[in-house]
Amino acid sequence: MSTALETPVPLLRTVSRAAGWGGLGLIAITVALSDFLAREPAGTRGAGPMLSVPSEVYPFGTDLLGRDMLSETLHGLSQTAGHALIGAVAAIILGGLFGAVAARLPRPFSASLRGMMGIFAAVPALLLTILLIGLTARGFAPLMAGLAAAPFAFVRAFDHVDLASLHAEYARATGIPAMTLLRRDLTYEFRETLASIAARALAAVAIILSTASFLGFGAEPPARDLGLMIAAAKSSYYTAWWTAAFPALALLMLILCARLAAGLEEGERP
């Protein structure tokens, strides 16, 4: 009876993960072809009438400066996805990889690192990102967001390697060198979670960067990411809903696909 109830869970996880990676693939293709798909270069003013509603001529409408919202959304998605990828790589290296290595260090030292990273993970990543941007510069926002997301990746990788490799305690007792165990864990344990950690980091960094830009701590004009586009449309949320709705929808799809690609655990929502 329990087997019948539990069977759909791995299937649902597999299907959602495939859908997520498929969506990320389509987004990657769209980003790669954004300059070709966009009818206007980024920030082109007067491409059409001001605040034109979505139509056949302007599928996403135009904004207050007459910019084509379809082109602007494609450019904004490219900016957001590119910066999120930079931050995700930083989170994977400084968090996920470091966490997997730390789990195989001598127990007192590894436990201290785990506790310290747990404290950093308890700090809201957005606040940590804003603090780091304030100490550096807005141009370093992608790296700072990746650094702020690194503790979460560290904790996840550390706990997986630490709990899934109980054989290591017995292996040490047989005299197997610690470096051999570390290479084994990096080859198998971390590799198994790398895709999940990468997708989670991508989603987390995209959220952090977009929110930071919305609050004025991220992308700087004339460069505009999706968060800054949504913030710029605040004055026309009700009168020209499309100026914020389409950038928000693009951001939603990026984050949703990344969360689905990470694979939903039992009881977890996208």
68: β partners: 62
Tell me whether residue 223 is in a domain.
yes
Is the pLDDT assigned to residue 76 strictly greater than 70? yes
Is the pLDDT assigned to residue 202 strictly greater than 90? yes
Is the pLDDT assigned to residue 244 strictly greater than 60? yes
Buried b (16+ CB within 10 A) or exposed e, 77-98: bbbbbebbbbbbbbbbebbbbb
> pLDDT by residue (tens digit) across 123-149?
999 999 999 999 998 889 999 999 999
Helices (H), the chain: 2-6, 8-32, 34-37, 69-91, 98-102, 107-122, 125-135, 141-164, 167-173, 178-187, 189-214, 226-232, 242-261
DSSP state of 11: H
104 vs 224, higher pLDDT = 224
Range of the structural domain that residue 241 is part of: 77-261
Tell me whether residue 44 is in a domain.
no
pLDDT at res. 160: 74
- The Cα-based distances of 156 to 143, 163, 169, 189 in angstroms read 20, 11, 20, 12
pLDDT category at 14 given cuts 50, 70, 90 is confident
Tell me whether residue 51 is in a domain.
no
Tell me whether residue 120 is in a domain.
yes
pLDDT at res. 96: 86
Residue 150: closest CA among 107, 215, 190, 197: 197
> CA–CA separation, 174 vs 171, rounded Å?
5
62: β partners: 68
Tell me whether residue 240 is in a domain.
yes
Work out the end-to-end distance of the chain between its first and last CA atoms, rounded to an integer number of angstroms.
27
pLDDT at res. 171: 54
pLDDT at res. 267: 44
CATH (domain of 140): 1.10.3720.10
Tell me whether residue 10 is in a domain.
no
Buried b (16+ CB within 10 A) or exposed e, 3-33: eeeeeeeeeebeebbeebbebbeebeebbee
Is the pLDDT assigned to residue 177 strictly greater than 50? yes
> CA–CA separation, 227 vs 215, rounded Å?
9
pLDDT at res. 8: 55
What residue has token string 């470096």? Answer: 179
Burial class of residue 1, CB neighbours in 10 A (0-12, 13-18, 19+):
exposed
The number of distinct structural domains making up the chain is: 1
Tell me whether residue 37 is in a domain.
no
Is the pLDDT assigned to residue 5 strictly greater than 80? no
> pLDDT by residue (tens digit) across 32-68?
999 899 999 998 999 999 999 999 999 999 999 999 9
Tell me whether residue 119 is in a domain.
yes
